[in-house]
């Protein structure tokens, strides 16, 4: 029988899932792009994700948060998943990882 995973391990699994979701206009996943501000996992295995978009009127403003919520919810260990959108602080290229900047030819 496998041992139940902890909140930190589940958080790492959630990040792996987030790295499979791409902004349709930019060939970089949303995690490396800096759109994910925080991932919270409580002892009940409820996941809350604080994220933003590149702009408030982004064309995927409706669909991207729903995709994030659904993909995270698809993990067996996740009891519930919630995405909270914020534009404070506003997204900027400074939030991108070195990997994302390299991929986009910004380094």
Task: Output the pTM of the full model.
Answer: 0.90
DSSP H or E stretch at residue 7: helix 7-18
Cβ–Cβ under 8 Å, residues 49 and 36? yes
d(CA 12, CA 50): 15
Higher-pLDDT residue of 28, 25? 28
Architecture of domain 7-103: 2-Layer Sandwich (3.30)
Map out the domains of the chain as residue ranges.
Answer: 7-103
pLDDT of residue 1: 33
pLDDT of residue 4: 65
Task: Tell me the sheet residues that pair with 85.
Answer: 51
pLDDT digits over 42-62, tens only?
999 999 999 999 988 888 888
Cβ–Cβ under 8 Å, residues 35 and 52? yes
d(CA 86, CA 96): 17
pLDDT band at 2 (very low <50, low <70, confident <90, very high): very low
């Amino acid at each position: 029988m496998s041992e139940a995973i902890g909140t930190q391990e589940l958080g790492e699994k959630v990040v792996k899932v987030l790295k499979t979701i791409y902004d349709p206009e930019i060939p970089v996943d949303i995690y490396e792009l800096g759109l994910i501000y925080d991932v919270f996992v409580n002892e009940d295995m409820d996941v809350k994700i604080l994220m933003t978009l590149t702009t408030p009127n982004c064309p995927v403003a409706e669909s991207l948060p729903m995709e994030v919520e659904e993909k995270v919810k698809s993990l067996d260990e996740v009891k519930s998943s919630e995405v909270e959108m914020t534009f404070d602080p506003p997204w900027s290229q400074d939030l991108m990882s070195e990997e994302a900047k390299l991929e986009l030819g910004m380094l």
